[in-house]
Amino acid sequence: MALSFNPRLVRGVSRCHAIVTAKMALAASCRDFSAAEKSTVIVNLNDNTGVATIQLNRPPVNSLNLQLLTDIKIALDKLQMKKDCRGMILTSSSPGIFCAGLDFMEMHNPQEGRAREFWRSLQEVWKMLYGSRLATIAAINGHSPAGGCLLSLTCDYRVMAQGKFMIGLNETLLGMVAPFWFQDTMTNTIGHREAEKALQLGLLYSGENALNVGLIDELVPPEKVMQTAQVQMQTWLKIPDLARRLTKEQMRGPTLQKFVQRQNEDVDQIMKFIMDSATQRSLGIYLNTLKHKQLTSV
Ligand SMILES: CC/C=C\CCC/C=C/C(=O)SCCNC(=O)CCNC(=O)[C@H](O)C(C)(C)COP(=O)(O)OP(=O)(O)OC[C@H]1O[C@@H](n2cnc3c(N)ncnc32)[C@H](O)[C@@H]1OP(=O)(O)O
């Protein structure tokens, strides 16, 4: 299957990408975490409030490569094992960029084993976040296309920064198809009709329009994003954990069950697509022509 990338709609993506890592920073009150060297996330847990923060910390754009996905998974595993942790805020350490989606470098001429591991890691992170026992809020402090939008959609609530930032599942603009579980997550959030338009047209929404269609829950000045998320978290934590968690399980269960049933099939399909020579030709052309192109939002 050939990909027809549309370079007019996307800003520059280069081949060379430093893997920038950062130390996992932990709150002093969280002594039983061991600091992992070279983690691409910064994790803090406030033992007084039970609220953790995971900051994506892979400059310049937090594109999701295998390492970042693995670090998110490790952080979540640790937090979810801590009984006292009740809520998690997902954000970025780079103001202006929440997450640029999947790292194109993981999909361009990959080794098959690595590409498979990459896709499985993405699936795992989605499954963990979407089914998390924690109350989760995305503090979207910048652009959030494609996989970045997906990450935020796994959360229970989304606060986004005002400004020229855009959010959406723009895969079709790149000649790609958002997998069924991306589509389900979107549909569960904004409803079938709007999702149908958004997914087919690869819509990237401005903050205002994202708020109008229910893709985000609040739009606030950039400097208020974290504070707003923290205040909102208090509302979620006022609800008894078990009742909130069971309700979430019931609401999201069917989507998760469908995913688990089709998880292996999804890997096989995506591998066929990624390893296809026509896909790789298109991706190569796309990467070479991406420079200085602009994403546009509706
Ligand atoms: C074959 C697979 C099949 C199916 C998969 C389907 C699911 C796919 C999901 C995805 O998530 S695909 C990824 C989609 N992502 C995008 O379309 C976003 C692309 N990026 C941008 O639009 C912009 O970078 C931005 C996020 C709006 C930020 O703009 P800004 O001007 O602030 O930064 P700049 O464009 O200069 O980028 C800085 C630097 O980062 C590189 N970059 C950007 N995005 C990615 C990415 N997704 N993967 C890898 N690298 C990325 C960009 O090239 C620049 O690199 P340079 O400094 O070395 O030039």
Both tokens of residue 2? Answer: 């050939």
Nearest to 243 by CA among 51, 86, 126: 86
Residue-level pLDDT at 286: 74
Q: Most distant CA pair in the chain: distance in Å? A: 54
Helix (H) or strand (E) holding 161: strand 157-161
pLDDT for 224: 98
Quick one: CA dihedral 90, 211, 141, 298, positive or negative? positive
Nearest CA to ligand 1 atom 48: 103
DSSP string, 56-111: E--TTT--B-HHHHHHHHHHHHHHHH-TT--EEEEEESSTEES---B-HHHHSS--
Say if residues 102 and 64 touch (Cβ distance below 8 Å): yes
Strand-strand pairing, 96-97 and 51-56 = unpaired
Cα 31 to ligand 1 centre (Å)? 36
Q: Is 223 a catalytic residue?
A: no
| Binding site membership of 145 for ligand 1 (Cβ less than 6 Å) | yes
> Virtual CA dihedral for 199, 203, 206, 209, nearest 10 degrees?
-60
User: Which range (28-37, 52-61, 110-119, 190-199) has the least confidence?
Assistant: 28-37
Higher-confidence residue: 3 or 200? 200
pLDDT digits (tens, 9 = 90+) for 153-188: 999 999 999 999 999 999 998 889 999 999 999 999
- The atom of ligand 1 lying closest to the CA of 147 is 11
Q: Which domains does the chain have, with CATH numbers?
A: 7-289 (3.90.226.10)
- Separation between Cα atoms, residue 25 and residue 94, nearest integer Å: 16
Is the pLDDT at 290 greater than 80? The verdict is: no
Rounded (10°) angle between helices 180-190 and 241-275: 140
pLDDT of 202-239, one tens digit each? 999 999 999 999 999 999 999 999 999 999 999 999 99
Of ligand 1's listed atoms, the one at least distance from the Cα of 174 is 17
- Of all protein residues, the one whose alpha carbon is nearest to atom 23 of ligand 1 is 11
Q: What percent of the chain has pLDDT over 70?
A: 85
Q: Is 100 in the pocket of ligand 1 (CB under 6 A)?
A: yes
Output Rg (C-alpha) for the chain, integer angstroms: 18
Q: What is the mean pLDDT of residues 26-53?
A: 74
